[in-house]
Amino acid sequence: MKSAMFTTQLTVLSLSLSLLFSYTSAEVLNVPDDYGSIQAAIEASGNRDTILVQPGIYAGDIDFLRKNITVGSLYLTTGDAGYRDETIIDAGNDGRPVTCRSGEGNRSVLAGFTLRNGQVVDGGGVYCRGSSPTLDNLAVIGNRASGKGGGIFCDDYASPVITNSVISSNDANEQGGGIYCNEHSSPRLTHVEVISNSGSTGGGIYCNNSSRAVLTDVTVSGNRADVMGGGIHCARDSDVHMLRVAVVDNYAESMRAGGIYIGISDVRMENVTIARNRTDGDGGGIHFMGTCHPVLKNAVLWGNSPNQVYQQGSPDPAASIEISYSDIEAGRNGVVITGNARLEWGNGNIDTNPLFSDEENGDYNLTENSPCIDTGDPESDPDPDGTRADMGAFYFDQLDVPKSEDVISEEFRLFPAFPNPFNSTTTITYALPALSPVSLKLYDLSGREVRTLVEGNQRSGIHHVVLNASNMPSGLYFVRLEAKDCVFAKRIMLIR
């Protein structure tokens, strides 16, 4: 079975506790019990204090005032990511939820909130100028900027650390519908979804003027740009490193680059999936121009329109693009060179349908017969299942595929769901070593039971249950298996 892109090495609880104990010391200020507003608690706090916020709706504009403090929902103390949806900072379409403009560093932590209804010139959801806070488990949704940065604005050496977050449905009249990065800003995104945002340029992410973004386990999907860079825009010496990144289903209307625009920048893309992006101009997947040297390794470029890669112009010195161990639709012919760029076509490239699970519904996991399995660079780090690196953003977990319905397991086991993340349906598989009473249930992040999938005695062997989630809202859920004295749980993600 396929391991989801968002599986982390640490549990949500351990991450939450590490944040709490790393950045706090003696005093905890409670909102609203001790202070009626989050800002009042911030003003009363000292460095290394924690502000613990109960579920509810609170007013922006929150300003950290250059303090090394942790501001968090009950996610901090419980590890329950669901508190993000219940603890809301709402700007009421007048101002923004959060501002950091006083030089805050990574020890200024905001964790476990929904930030919504910002409406300002720049930075609709979060404004970072010369500041680098830690932003963990946030939903930055439905914010608007009449200028730049509908969701998050980074300028003047701002380098926020953004983890386990969703940046969705934000809008900017100018650049950076989801995230705007400018003037030596270096954000680090890990386990982040940038989805359904819009802007004039860089509908999902905009990087400019020597910005240095690092994206790891990130999905950039369903974003729109009026001009170019539907998913990601990188320009003017903005070096971006992408590892296990999916850039899919984005659109640039008038000029170029439905997926990724690269202009006078060096972008390294390793284990990326760039699929089904489109533009009414050139470069459905990637468009690059000026002196730049993008590198693709272990990548999948498929179903982009009108081209997989398009290069324009004849700069001096010449541009180049290096591609190795990648699945490129139409092979070399999928890379259109109109200027003097060099195509460095390396070893291991193929032109074969990658056999995605269900790309029509946004599922870009590989199926078990995909030609992208075990065909990545043999010098790359192996996949977590110990096998040779796969191509694309989502590796196929070969250790968790039951080989036969006749397998008799020697132990109780709950396998990872497949596919995961999923759009409408996923299959849950578990093993029983003997006839056993079984309870298989689905829970949401608040611990509420959503559905009973199996209840009763079952024989030994491998069992499969198909979960149809067509009537369920997007989000994270837990599958819980109880069999005799054993209890197992697996996290699944439903994405619309």
In the sheet where 224-228 sits, what is the strand order? 119-120, 144-145, 171-172, 198-201, 224-228, 251-252, 278-279
Q: Which of 182-186, 248-252, 387-391, 412-416 has the lowest mean pLDDT?
A: 412-416
Mean pLDDT of 300-311: 97
Of 334, 365, 396, which closes a domain? 365
DSSP E strand boundaries for 170-213: 171-172, 179-181, 188-195, 198-201, 205-207
Q: Cβ distance 291 to 302 under 8 Å? A: no
Query: Same structural domain for residues 117 and 217?
Result: yes
Of 365, 399, 429, which closes a domain? 365
Query: Same structural domain for residues 334 and 439?
Result: no
Question: Would you say the pTM of this structure is higher than 0.85?
Answer: no
Report pLDDT for 398. 77
In the chain, pLDDT over 90 holds for what percent of residues?
74
Whether the pLDDT of residue 210 is over 80: the answer is yes
Report pLDDT for 1. 33
Asked if residue 389 belongs to a domain, the reply is no
Whether the pLDDT of residue 490 is over 90: the answer is no
Asked if residue 37 belongs to a domain, the reply is yes
- What is the Cα–Cα distance from 369 to 493, expressed in whole angstroms? 23
- What is the Cα–Cα distance from 16 to 398, expressed in whole angstroms? 31
424: its two tokens: 């409408």
Query: Same structural domain for residues 347 and 460?
Result: no
Of 331, 365, 399, which closes a domain? 365
Query: Same structural domain for residues 158 and 210?
Result: yes
Domain extent for 452: 408-494
Report pLDDT for 304. 98
Tell me the pLDDT tens digit for each residue of 77-126: 999 999 999 999 999 999 999 999 989 999 999 999 999 999 999 999 99
Report pLDDT for 406. 42
Query: Same structural domain for residues 123 and 265?
Result: yes
Report pLDDT for 476. 83
pLDDT, greater one: 403 or 158? 158
DSSP E strand boundaries for 303-446: 309-312, 320-324, 327-328, 335-337, 342-345, 356-358, 363-366, 413-414, 425-432, 436-444
Report pLDDT for 16. 44
Asked if residue 386 belongs to a domain, the reply is no
In the chain, the number of structural domains is: 2
Beta strand 179-181 with 205-207: parallel, antiparallel or unpaired?
A: parallel
Report pLDDT for 401. 57
Tell me the pLDDT tens digit for each residue of 438-453: 999 999 877 889 999 9
Report pLDDT for 11. 38
- Confidence class for position 400, pLDDT limits 50, 70, 90: low
Query: Same structural domain for residues 412 and 360?
Result: no
Whether the pLDDT of residue 22 is over 60: the answer is no
- Confidence class for position 21, pLDDT limits 50, 70, 90: very low
Tell me the pLDDT tens digit for each residue of 314-345: 999 999 999 999 999 999 999 999 999 999 99
* Dihedral Cα 165, 169, 170, 171, nearest 10 deg: 150
333: its two tokens: 């012919």
Report pLDDT for 287. 97
Asked if residue 2 belongs to a domain, the reply is no
Query: Same structural domain for residues 340 and 454?
Result: no
pLDDT, greater one: 60 or 193? 193
Report pLDDT for 264. 95
Beta strand 251-252 with 50-53: parallel, antiparallel or unpaired?
A: unpaired
- Confidence class for position 2, pLDDT limits 50, 70, 90: very low
Asked if residue 17 belongs to a domain, the reply is yes
- Confidence class for position 496, pLDDT limits 50, 70, 90: low
